[in-house]
Structure 1
Amino acid sequence: MTIIRSLSEVSDNYRALFVDLWGCVHDGVRPIPGAVEALRAYRKTGGRVILVTNSPRPRAGVAKQIAGFGVTEDAYDDIATSGDSARVAMFRGAVGNKVWHLGPDHDAGFFEVPAILTDPAVIERVPLEQAEGIVCTGPFDPLADPSVMRPQFLAAKTRGLKLLCANPDIVVDRGETREWCAGALAQLYTEMGGESLYFGKPHPPIYDLARRRLGAIEDIGDSSILAIGDGPLTDAAGAMGEDLDLLFISGGLGAEETGTAIGGDPDPEKLDRYLAETGVVPTYTIGTLR
């Protein structure tokens, strides 16, 4: 395991980066110190940056959101979102035509037809009792335990409804507050005997989308792509599954367990223990993207 202090120590070995957003580039409120500058510097050398996020929003919505956080367009080339991958599946009828939307009102953009589809299915949002399937973009209340959905999930499972999960993340940290994500709800539904469909990290569809986004700019093979992320179950598992080199951010979701202070490096012993417990085998580790 190699701990580095700057992206520039290894970036010359790669022509493109697949970069996670939340916990790596921003914390849901503001940019991670040094992250935007590191990506800008990499792009100035000719490197390509594709932001690969489990956000349920379309890429235009993510671009607008992160601009509000201070992540400027000169820090990346394009964005691949779990929402875009999942939307395509939904408009191809993956969970039927009448769907119950489990998620906040601000995710309404998920139901806009993707431009790449020429013959999309007609999707109607209906109450759960009328639904043919569930589209989950996140919890109604991100601070409430996912178990509050057990009554609705029991009814849905009994009817054999599939749940389309637009964001496989289990939790995220918004500033200092930890919030539940759609992945926690999908996990609960599966545990209860329901069927959940995933399209974001660590599952292949979002990496296929990221490669298409990159390929539209420049033809770059997997051996020249470095994946960057902080989530053991999403970013790391996805990169390892896709056989991509991984720069693991220890100061994100695992900051406390790895002893990574803000702007600092992980404690080597704590990091070794954390990586062993989570099964993460990174090519490199860094405290924060800088």
Structure 2
Amino acid sequence: MTRIIEALEEISDEYDALFCDLWGCVHDGIAALPEAVEALRAYRARGGSVVLLTNAPRPRASVALQIEALGVPDDAWDTIATSGDAARDAMFRGAVGSRIYFMGEERDHVFFEPIATVEDPVAIERVPLGEAEGIVVTGPFDPSEPPEAVRPQLLSAKARGLKLLSANPDIVVDKGDKREFCGGAIAELYKSMGGEVLSFGKPHPPVYDLARRRLAEFGDPVPDERILAIGDGIATDVLGGALEGLDVLFVSGGLALKETATERQPEPEALDRFLDTQRANPEFTIGKLR
């Protein structure tokens, strides 16, 4: 059974590093969450390392600029590992060919910027769907529209046997009090149609491998038992952490706020019911990261 804690500091001495989710934990898509920022600052002041591990479908430099604009200071984290970087690595190695049909918002065009971590990268060309060898999805064209809006394109892609590279496995996010669809919703629809999907963010291994490599840039590798995964996504952060053999701190006041009846803290019986339905057992739970 999960242990409900009041603050990160109750357990932080047990861990040398955090793999901390961003959206829903450190910011809400509109502004930084002050208590979370202070908790991460305090953890770093005690000698811990913070890897912001996010399913953002963009390079880490782009994410760093984004969170700075939201009010997340750079003294609250050490490095960033994004699903976008893990997926970019695969794309530039030719995972879905060189002629790519792109689904996503204009802000995600940075996904196609040159990459330095791949020797002799594939030359990528963005083309219309009818000329494509593969698909890259960072998200919907319009996050307010359900994935069914692109069913015609997916049907055409499936008929041609195109692989779909998913740069963000998240299904939905909450932007303030507004729920929006993510690239994972499109990927799941394509998979349900029998299409082949390559996924690189949480809960899949590539982004965790990237996080470990970036953490190791600061010194000796940290053993898994000394890493705590933090997140509000039960099917991404919690599942991914468990699959990687990491202890997990579930933030119930994010995507599962209603299901867990979270105000400052989750209602214990509601939390237990939710975790039972999801077949999840995170080591720790907190209402909001603080």
Q: What residue in structure 1 maps to residue 254 of structure 2?
A: 252
Q: What residue in structure 2 maps to residue 129 of structure 1?
A: 130
Deviations 1:45-90 (A, max 9, x none): 0000000000001000000000010001000000000000000000
Q: What residue in structure 1 maps to residue 225 of structure 2?
A: 223
Q: What TM-score does the superposition give when structure 1 sets the normalisation length?
A: 0.98
Q: What residue in structure 2 maps to residue 89 of structure 1?
A: 90
Q: Distance in 1 between matches of 2:194 and 2:206?
A: 24
| Alignment pair present for 1:108 and 2:90 | no
Number of residues of Structure 1 aligned to a counterpart in Structure 2: 288
Deviations 1:199-248 (A, max 9, x none): 00000000000000001112211110000001011000100000100000
| Alignment pair present for 1:27 and 2:28 | yes
| Alignment pair present for 1:146 and 2:147 | yes
Secondary structure of 1:84's aligned partner: helix
Secondary structure of 2:75's aligned partner: helix
Q: What residue in structure 1 maps to residue 164 of structure 2?
A: 163
- Superposed CA RMSD in Å reads 0.6
Amino acid of the structure 2 residue aligned with 1:229: G
Secondary structure of 2:34's aligned partner: coil
Q: Distance in 2 between matches of 1:63 and 1:119?
A: 27
Deviations 1:261-281 (A, max 9, x none): 2xx010000000011011221
Secondary structure of 1:228's aligned partner: strand
Secondary structure of 1:109's aligned partner: helix
| Alignment pair present for 1:236 and 2:238 | yes
What displacement does 1:20 show?
0.3
Q: Distance in 1 between matches of 2:36 and 2:45?
A: 14
What displacement does 1:116 show?
1.2
Amino acid of the structure 2 residue aligned with 1:94: A
Q: Distance in 2 between matches of 1:82 and 1:75?
A: 20
Q: Distance in 1 between matches of 2:163 and 2:118?
A: 22
Secondary structure of 1:255's aligned partner: coil
Q: What TM-score does the superposition give when structure 2 sets the normalisation length?
A: 0.98
| Alignment pair present for 1:266 and 2:266 | yes
Secondary structure of 2:259's aligned partner: helix
Amino acid of the structure 2 residue aligned with 1:269: E
Deviations 1:23-61 (A, max 9, x none): 000000011230000000000000000000000010000
Q: Distance in 2 between matches of 1:273 and 1:230?
A: 16
What displacement does 1:98 show?
0.1
What displacement does 1:115 show?
1.3
Gaps in structure 2 of 5+ consecutive residues? none
Q: Distance in 2 between matches of 1:113 and 1:167?
A: 19
Q: Distance in 2 between matches of 1:269 and 1:223?
A: 29
Q: What residue in structure 2 maps to residue 177 of structure 1?
A: 178
Among the aligned pairs, what percent are the same residue? Answer: 61
Secondary structure of 1:251's aligned partner: coil
Deviations 1:127-148 (A, max 9, x none): 0010000000100010111111
Q: What residue in structure 1 maps to residue 51 of structure 2?
A: 50
